């Protein structure tokens, strides 16, 4: 099979593009898709310092690799989740990549810094394991970016991730989440800008790019991910994609082009400093501090636990809805 762009022999076939590419041309196409995403959504400005959240997987390491080659001022951040050998291997791979590229990597260990790991949180907290993991990542990534003086946080979410998220929110008509889903979220008070430069590229494409670039990455999925709803949404999208190539791209990129404007956002919420950590929140205490206190069996503020009358709830990644306690002093 010949490369679509040159006389060379193709090494990868992309059915959604009805095309095949050689190693060099595929790498160029991949990088151009990242450039296009950055340009269209003005993800990274001149002089911006970028922090890439790296997990040791193909997507985040491929993203870090591309951003370094494009000349951005970009460092990596690895968050140790305490998931046994899986986390040990992930940290090793991430550190090895940083050393090979002469790049700066910051490592934050969740247990050392915040007193718990993800397996413990999954057993003791009100949130599911995946939900508390996601919450912890968002909190730590933002705090590290703020403390480090970074302008942008970049994550390796790919087209498959974004299409699955959009499908899940659409199935439940979570219109507020649909409206907010975007490859680029602007900075707010105390919140660093967040971008997803790989949103135009599929999981297959990022895996192929990492392989062809010789990037060593963790192939195994997280051992705690079994039963995750988003995985089922990915499987559903994969089944459709298999018989109708291009569905994922049409679904998510079509949403960005034509559907997003149909969903109104409500941005009039007031952010105030969390009474425990000072990070921005819409409540007295941020969701991270509330979840952490529950896992550790601690109380935030003074007085006994107070349960809000309408029962503040948490929708976990598994779709369960569970009451949580809000720690603090009851209103007079």
Q: Could you tell me if residue 4 is inside a domain?
A: no
Position 323 scores a pLDDT of: 32
pLDDT of the residue at 313: 33
Q: Is residue 320 domain-shared with residue 178, that is, in the same domain?
A: no
Place of tokens 């439940």: 172
Q: How confident is the model at residue 307, as a pLDDT?
A: 36
Does residue 43 share a domain with residue 148? yes
With respect to residue 234, please indicate whether it lies within any of the assigned structural domains: yes
**Residue 14 resides in a domain:** no
Q: 8 in a domain, yes or no?
A: no
The reply to whether 24 falls in a domain is: no
Same-domain status, 238 and 309: no
Domain that holds residue 157: 36-218+229-262
Q: Are 208 and 12 in contact (CB under 8 A)?
A: yes
Same domain, yes or no: 177 and 60? yes
Per-residue pLDDT 10s for the chain (332 aa) are: 999 999 999 999 999 999 999 999 999 999 999 999 999 999 999 999 999 999 999 999 999 999 999 999 999 999 999 999 999 999 999 999 999 999 999 999 999 999 999 999 999 887 889 999 999 999 999 999 999 999 999 999 999 999 999 999 999 999 999 999 999 999 998 999 999 999 999 999 999 999 999 999 999 999 998 778 999 999 999 999 999 999 999 999 999 999 999 987 666 678 899 999 999 998 999 999 999 999 999 998 743 333 333 333 333 333 333 333 323 333 33
pLDDT at residue 137, as a whole number: 97
Q: What is the CATH number of the domain that holds 129?
A: 3.40.50.620
For residues 235 and 301, state if they share a domain: no
Q: Is position 278 within any domain?
A: yes
Total domains in the chain come to 2
Asked if the structure places residue 290 within a domain, the reply is yes
Residue 164 shares a structural domain with residue 313: no
> 186 and 283 share a domain?
no
Residues 286 and 257 in one domain: no
Residues 236 and 322 in one domain: no
Angstrom distance (rounded) from CA 182 to CA 204:
21
40 and 151 co-located in one domain: yes
Q: Is residue 72 part of a domain?
A: yes
Considering the domain architecture, whether residues 246 and 309 belong to the same structural domain is answered as: no
Q: Are residues 183 and 240 in the same domain?
A: yes
């Amino acid at each position: 099979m010949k490369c679509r762009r040159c006389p060379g022999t193709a090494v990868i076939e992309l059915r959604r593009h009805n095309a095949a590419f050689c190693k060099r041309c595929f790498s160029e196409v991949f990088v151009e898709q990242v450039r296009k995403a950055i340009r269209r959504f003005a993800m990274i400005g001149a002089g911006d310092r970028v922090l890439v959240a790296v997990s040791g997987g193909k997507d985040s390491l491929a993203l870090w690799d591309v951003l370094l080659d494009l000349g951005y001022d970009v460092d990596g951040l690895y968050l140790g989740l305490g998931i046994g050998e899986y986390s040990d291997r992930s940290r090793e791979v991430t550190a090895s990549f940083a050393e090979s590229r002469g790049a700066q990597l910051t490592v934050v260990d969740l247990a050392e810094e915040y007193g718990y790991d993800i397996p413990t949180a999954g057993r003791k907290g009100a949130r599911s394991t995946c939900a508390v993991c996601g919450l912890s990542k968002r909190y730590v990534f933002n705090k590290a970016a703020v403390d480090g003086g970074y302008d942008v946080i970049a994550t390796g979410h790919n087209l498959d991730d974004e299409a699955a998220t959009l499908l899940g929110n659409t199935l439940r008509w979570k219109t507020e989440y649909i409206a907010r889903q975007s490859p680029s979220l602007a900075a707010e008070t105390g919140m660093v800008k967040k971008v997803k430069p790989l949103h135009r590229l599929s999981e297959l494409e990022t895996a192929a790019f990492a392989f062809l670039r010789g990037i060593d990455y963790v192939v195994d999925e997280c051992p705690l991910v079994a039963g995750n709803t988003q995985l089922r949404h990915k499987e559903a999208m994969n089944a459709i994609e298999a018989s109708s190539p291009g569905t994922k791209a049409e679904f998510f990129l079509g949403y960005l082009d034509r559907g997003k404007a149909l969903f109104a956002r409500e941005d009039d919420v007031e952010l105030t400093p969390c009474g425990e950590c000072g990070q921005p929140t819409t409540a007295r205490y941020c969701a991270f501090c509330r979840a952490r206190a529950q896992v550790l069996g601690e109380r935030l503020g003074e007085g006994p636990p107070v349960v809000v009358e309408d029962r503040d709830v948490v929708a976990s990644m598994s779709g369960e809805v569970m009451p949580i306690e809000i720690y603090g002093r009851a209103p007079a």
